[in-house]
Amino acid sequence: MSKIIAERYELLELIGQGGMADVYLAKDIILNRTIAIKILRTSLAKDPIYVTRFQREASAAAALSHKNIVEIYDVGEDEDKYYIVMEYVPGRTLKELILKRGAVHVVEAIDIMKQVVSGIAKAHQLGIIHRDLKPQNILVTDSGVAKIADFGIASMQSLAQVTQTDVIMGSLHYLAPELARGEKATVQSDIYALGIVFYELLRGEVPFNGESPVNIALKHMQEDLPSLLEFNPSILQSVENIVIKATAKNLNDRYHNVTEMLEDLNTCMERPNEKKLEFVYDTETEPTIVLDSRSMFNSANTTNVASTTESIQDDKVKDEKGLKKLLTKFKNLDIKAKVAIIVGFIFVAGVTTFLVYANIRPDTNLMPDLEGKDKEQAIELLKEYNVTISDDIIEELSDEYEKGEIVKTDPKKGSTIKEGDVVKLTISKGKYIVVDDYLGMDVNKAEKALKKLGFKVIIEKEVSSKTKGTVIEQSIEKDEKVDPTDKDREIT
């Protein structure tokens, strides 16, 4: 299948496929070395938003230099093929290792995790969150060196690309509860995934399986991980405690940064008498429950209400004697005390009645979170609320959301809405173009890249100590934001 990319990289064979790109074993003809080259799928290469993000995030990954991160050598484009040239790591993925061997010996598992966590620590220092940590994205050489791959690229996957069952099932096994709730990825989301990877190394399988992605996500949100010590009693409690802390559902209980996790990995084998880590929650505080008023009074719920009413009647009979004693005490109080108690009772009853009415009134609901969804998804989600989506849609640029995705709503998410209300949407008209650093780049290559982003390129020449044809200055600074809808944008 011999083919040359950029007159330099000879493709030898296909060695991997992902949701957005294909990975080939290749040879760098100039440097005469074996490399791996990842090429963006043709269908995505036609989308300028994906291309821009691919280039920007690949550049960010290239800035990472660490022995436990796959090194990026080059990023480019050739005949509408966008590629990343990277270090070729002979060996297998951590997933393949687990599938072949099952549970890994605790000492080896700790060694692998030290390497992986060390690499992630470097990324987090530079503000890069992996977002898709799993054994499939960790390569292990025959000599036992672990290297993390696919930095930043995972964040490119929009909902449109995560529709394949294998993609969903593969990632959800390592998905932090807050991500399953639709919250943003943070360093603690990566830490949760690291905890699940550590569990899988020690157990030989993931903690939660299910028939559907929703089932798996719910388990991550609601259930404790099965005990590692029940599976293998020889594992020290201090080792399991690392998994427990890394995968804590409450972010306050979870490691706040990977450095803390790395410190525990370095010392866990020196703490043989450690007690099991348990998080204490306030069990007396009842959680807020939002009821769907339309389904509240169906036949099943009516049965529950009837049985509850019978229970209350039983309690009422049992408490009659106690009530008589309270009335006797009340009669013996002076007038001021009696008035104070009656006023207090009326106030509490009034507040309670208001809250009950506000929560079960048939025409009242809470505005759902529509951010990041498109208009069609919003229409589908709002059907049951019997509200109208305004035709007056606002469009604005966004740092976070792709073109066509909802940036915000009016009313805001979580606020009260009722039947007949009008919902206004603010939709992203695309992300800002973030200007790269072209200093030191060949002027022809820089001009070509900028023209693809829609810039009019003005070239000025001056004498310099730099190599002829090298960019020595640019009129728009690196990381400056530019409106992609501005048709007259130019750069010198």
Burial tier of 375 (Cβ tally within 10 Å: 0-12, 13-18, 19+)? middle
pLDDT at 156: 39
Domains of the chain, residue spans:
3-87, 91-270, 293-345, 364-431, 434-492
Residue 313 has pLDDT above 50, yes or no: no
pLDDT at 41: 83
* Mean pLDDT for all residues in the chain: 79
Helix (H, G, I), strand (E, B) or coil at 210: coil
pLDDT at 350: 52
pLDDT confidence band for 408 (50 / 70 / 90): confident
* Across 186-202, average pLDDT: 96
Give the closest residue to 20 by CA, choosing from 319, 440, 46.
46
CB 363 within 8 A of CB 418: yes
pLDDT confidence band for 296 (50 / 70 / 90): very low
The identity of residue 115, as a single letter, is Q
* Across 140-169, average pLDDT: 58
- Among 126-140, 211-225, 299-313, 362-376, the minimum mean pLDDT is found in 299-313
Distance of CA 367 to the CA centre of its chain: 22
pLDDT confidence band for 132 (50 / 70 / 90): confident
pLDDT at 159: 29
Query: Looking at 132, 150, 190, 374, which residue is catalytic?
Result: 132
Residue 317 has pLDDT above 50, yes or no: no
Give the closest residue to 479 by CA, choosing from 444, 428, 438, 429.
438
pLDDT at 331: 58
pLDDT confidence band for 115 (50 / 70 / 90): very high
The span from the CA of 149 to the CA of 72, in Å, is 10
Q: Around Cβ 48, how many Cβ atoms within 10 Å? A: 15
Task: Give per-residue pLDDT as tens, 48-107.
Answer: 777 776 776 676 677 788 999 999 898 888 888 889 999 999 989 999 999 999 999 999
Do the domains at 91-270 and 364-431 have one common CATH topology? Answer: no
- Among 180-189, 320-329, 447-456, the minimum mean pLDDT is found in 320-329
Helix (H, G, I), strand (E, B) or coil at 37: strand
Which percentage of the chain shows pLDDT scores above 90?
A: 36
Residue 287 has pLDDT above 60, yes or no: no
pLDDT at 335: 63
pLDDT confidence band for 211 (50 / 70 / 90): low
Q: Around Cβ 468, how many Cβ atoms within 10 Å? A: 7
Where would I find the H helices in 102-236? 106-125, 165-172, 177-180, 187-203, 213-222, 228-231
Residue 114 has pLDDT above 50, yes or no: yes
Architecture of domain 91-270: Orthogonal Bundle (1.10)
pLDDT at 145: 94
- Among 165-174, 290-299, 353-362, 455-464, the minimum mean pLDDT is found in 290-299
* Across 401-417, average pLDDT: 82
Give Rg (Cα) of the chain.
30
pLDDT at 195: 98
pLDDT at 164: 36
Fold designation for 3-87: Phosphorylase Kinase; domain 1 (3.30.200)
CB 109 within 8 A of CB 198: yes
The span from the CA of 240 to the CA of 273, in Å, is 12
Q: Around Cβ 201, how many Cβ atoms within 10 Å? A: 24
pLDDT at 300: 36
The span from the CA of 121 to the CA of 259, in Å, is 7
Helix (H, G, I), strand (E, B) or coil at 24: strand
* Across 326-348, average pLDDT: 59
- DSSP single-letter state for residue 466: S
Residue 285 has pLDDT above 90, yes or no: no
- DSSP single-letter state for residue 71: P
pLDDT confidence band for 322 (50 / 70 / 90): low
Task: Give per-residue pLDDT as tens, 344-391.
Answer: 555 544 544 444 444 433 344 677 878 888 888 888 778 777 788 888
Task: Give per-residue pLDDT as tens, 11-46.
Answer: 999 988 766 778 999 999 999 999 999 998 887 888
pLDDT at 310: 38
Distance of CA 2 to the CA centre of its chain: 38
Fold designation for 364-431: Trypsin Inhibitor V; Chain A (3.30.10)
Helix (H, G, I), strand (E, B) or coil at 101: helix
Token pair for 128: 């890069």
Catalytic residue list contains 132? yes
Token pair for 285: 């505080």
The CA dihedral of 243, 246, 249, 250, to the nearest 10 degrees, is 130
Angle at 149 between CA 450 and CA 49, to 5 degrees: 30
CB 156 within 8 A of CB 20: yes
Q: Position of tokens 């490691």?
A: 255
Q: Position of tokens 């804590």?
A: 248
Residue 481 has pLDDT above 50, yes or no: yes
pLDDT at 93: 92
- DSSP single-letter state for residue 129: -
The span from the CA of 175 to the CA of 177, in Å, is 6
Say which CATH class 434-492 falls into: alpha beta
Give the closest residue to 444 by CA, choosing from 462, 419, 469, 465.
469
pLDDT at 336: 55
